[in-house]
Amino acid sequence: MEDKKQHCLLGGSSAERWINCPPSARLTEDMEDVTSIFAEEGSNAHSLAEYKLNKALGNNIEYPKLTIFSKEMDEYTDSYVSFVLEQIESLKEEDSGNAPYVMVEHQVSYDKWVRDSYGTIDFLAANNKTLHIIDLKYGLGVKVDATENSQLKIYALGAIQELECLYDFEKIILTIYQPRIGNVSTWETTKTELLKWAEDVLKPAADLADKGGGIFRSGPWCKFCKAKAICKERSKVALEILNQEFRNPALLSDNEIEEILLKADDISSYLNDIKDFAVAKALDGKKWINFKLVEGRSTRKFTDEGSVINVLKENNINPYDTKLRSITDIEKELGKAKFKTLLDNFVNKPQGKPTLVLRSDKREELNLVNTDFDVFKEEK
Ligand code: SF4
C-alpha cells in the first residue's frame, strides 16, 4: 500500500503509469486527488490488518480509529493475517527454523534509483535466502497481478536498499493478496534481475519523469491518471480508429468491425471519463457553451415509513413485502464458509449472457450446438 498520509511525485502505486508515460508525473502533480468511499474503505481495511498482524506478531499497538467497518472486513483481514503468518512459517522452515526479519507497514526509500522517493510496504519478511513482500489490495474492481508488477518491484528495491548490508538474499517473492475476489497472485524473481530492471528501466524513466520529459503514451495505466479525461494523447489514441478511412464507404467489413471491437472498451471508458469530468466541472460552476445541467430521473421515496405503515394498517392493507433477501446480502451476514455449508445446495447459477471477448481471454468458448441461446437473442 502507498504511504497513507503522503504521496511522493514518483510513488510506487503510480509507477506503472509514470514508467510508461513519464511526462504524466509533472502534468498531474498539481491536480487534485479525488477521494472515494472505496479508497476510504481500503484505508480502514489496511489499518485493521496492520493492527491484527502486529498483535499476532506480539507487537504492542493501539486499536485503530476506523470510520468504516464490516463483518466482511473483519473476516478478510483475518484471512490476510493467516496468510502472512503461513509465509513467515515457510521462511522459517527454509532457514532451518530461524525466524525471518519481519516488518509491518514499513516505509522504505528507493532513492538510489528514483530521487526523493519512498513508499510503504504492507508486509516484508527476509532471511539470507529470500525476501518476501506482500501487498494487501482491498479493491474489488480490478484484479491485480503480481507478475512484473512495478509497484511491488519498486518496494522490493526499497527493501534491498535498506536491508542489503544485513541480509544476503537472492530470491525475491512478490505477492498480491486481494481477498475480496479470492486473488492471491505470487511472482518470483531474483535480486540480480530486479537490480538490472532498476538500472535499465526504472532509473531512466524516473529521470525523465522528474524533468517532465519523455513522450506521452496511452495504455491501461491511463485508468489511474488524474489527466485521463482531458489528456490529448489519450483522446487521440482512443478515437483514432473513428477517423480511419474504411474501404467501402457505405458498409464495414468483418475485419473493420473487429478493428473497432478491439478499441471498443478503450473508447467507451474514455467517453465515460470525459462525461464524468464535464459533469464534475459543471457542478463546480463551469458553464459549457452547448451543455447545461438538468435534473436526472429519480424515484419516489417515503419520507416517514412509520406513518406510512400506520396509514396502511388502518386501511387494512399489508404494508410489508416478504421478499427473500439477496444472496450477496445473506452471504455477507453468514460469511462465505457458513453460507456454503448451510445454503450451497439451494444455489443455482444460471447461464450467463453471451459476451464477446478477445481470444486471449482464459474463459472457454461457448458451445453453440449444445446450448440454447435464443432467449438472449429475443432479449435484444
Ligand atoms: S492519460 Fe495516459 S497518456 Fe495521458 S498523461 Fe495520463 S498516462 Fe499519459
For a substitution probing ligand 1, which of 13, 17, 29 has the most ligand atoms within 8 Å of its CB? Answer: 17
pLDDT of 380 strictly over 70: no
pLDDT of 240 strictly over 90: no
- Residue 357 burial (C-beta neighbours within 10 Å; 0-12, 13-18, 19+): exposed
Q: What is the pLDDT of residues 147-190, one digit of tens each?
A: 999 999 999 999 999 999 999 999 999 999 999 999 999 999 99
**Sign of the dihedral through C-alpha 320, 325, 329, 335:** positive
- Residue 360 burial (C-beta neighbours within 10 Å; 0-12, 13-18, 19+): exposed
pLDDT of 379 strictly over 70: no
122 contacts 1 by C-beta, under 8 angstroms: yes
Among 92, 87, 50, which Cα is nearest to 175's? 87
Q: What is the pLDDT of residues 290-325, one digit of tens each?
A: 999 999 889 999 999 999 999 999 999 999 988 899
50 contacts 64 by C-beta, under 8 angstroms: yes
- In terms of phi and psi (left: phi > 0; alpha: psi -120 to 50; beta: otherwise), the region of 249 is alpha
Q: What CATH fold (topology level) applies to the domain 15-211?
A: Lambda Exonuclease; Chain A (3.90.320)
What mean pLDDT comes out for the span 245-272?
87
Q: Is the CB of 225 inside a 6 Å radius of any atom of ligand 1?
A: yes
For a substitution probing ligand 1, which of 20, 30, 231, 273 has the most ligand atoms within 8 Å of its CB? Answer: 231
Residue nearest atom 4 of ligand 1, based on CA coordinates: 231
Q: What is the pLDDT of residues 91-109, one digit of tens each?
A: 999 999 999 999 999 999 9
Cα–ligand 1 centroid distance for 220 (angstroms): 10
pLDDT band for position 7 (cuts 50, 70, 90): low
Nearest atom, ligand 1, residue 18 CA = 7
- Residue 379 burial (C-beta neighbours within 10 Å; 0-12, 13-18, 19+): exposed
Nearest atom, ligand 1, residue 228 CA = 1
Instruction: Write down the domain spans for the chain.
Output: 15-211, 324-379
Nearest atom, ligand 1, residue 231 CA = 4
pLDDT band for position 232 (cuts 50, 70, 90): very high
Beta bridge partners, 174, equal 133, 187
Residue nearest atom 3 of ligand 1, based on CA coordinates: 218
Q: What is the pTM of this model?
A: 0.79
Gap between the Cα atoms of 101 and 121, Å rounded: 14
